[in-house]
């Protein structure tokens, strides 16, 4: 299947700092990528849809100024958690669709811990 890669796989930061997570489609171009967040023992929650060359679409209740998404190329989307706080500690997962009518492929996830 298609390969989606995330970096870093884990990050620890101090409260108040910003953290950037990268999501790359390695063997295909993705005009659309999706960002999810997952808390322990819970399901994946869709945060936003990232669109290449345009603004991201955020799900209800997700702060767009808090979670900045940039999709500047067909193979890279970034999620920046600004002014991170302990409650932002979570597992962040990105995904992309190589075929316009196909299935979604996920990255390995990035675990954020805010101290």
Partner 1 sequence: DAKTTQPTSMDCAEGRAANLPCNHSTISGNEYVYWYRQIHSQGPQYIIHGLKNNETNEMASLIITEDRKSSTLILPHATLRDTAVYYCIVRVRNTGNQFYFGTGTSLTVIP
- Residue 46 CB, shortest distance to partner 1, in Å, is 6
- Residue 65 CB, shortest distance to partner 1, in Å, is 21
For partner 1, the closer of residues 42 and 83 by Cβ is 42
> E strands, the chain, where?
4-7, 10-13, 19-25, 32-38, 45-51, 57-58, 67-73, 76-81, 90-96, 105-106, 110-114
The C-alpha atoms of residue 95 and residue 20 are separated, in whole angstroms, by 16
For partner 1, the closer of residues 18 and 103 by Cβ is 103
The contact set with partner 1 (CB under 8 A) reads 1, 4, 6, 31-32, 34, 36, 43-46, 49, 91, 93, 95, 97, 100-109, 111
- Residue 54 CB, shortest distance to partner 1, in Å, is 11
Rg of the chain taking only CA atoms, in angstroms: 13
For partner 1, the closer of residues 81 and 97 by Cβ is 97
């Amino acid at each position: 299947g298609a390969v989606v890669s995330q970096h870093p796989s884990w990050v620890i930061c101090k409260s108040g700092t910003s953290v950037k997570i990268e999501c790359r489609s390695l063997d295909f171009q993705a005009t659309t990528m999706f960002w999810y967040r997952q808390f322990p023992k819970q399901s994946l929650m869709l945060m936003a849809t990232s669109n290449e060359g345009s603004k991201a679409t955020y799900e209800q209740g997700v702060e767009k100024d808090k979670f900045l998404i940039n999709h500047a190329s067909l193979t890279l989307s970034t999620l920046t958690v600004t002014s991170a706080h302990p409650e932002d500690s979570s597992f962040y997962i990105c995904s992309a669709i190589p075929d316009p009518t196909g299935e979604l492929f996920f990255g390995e996830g990035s675990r954020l811990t805010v101290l």
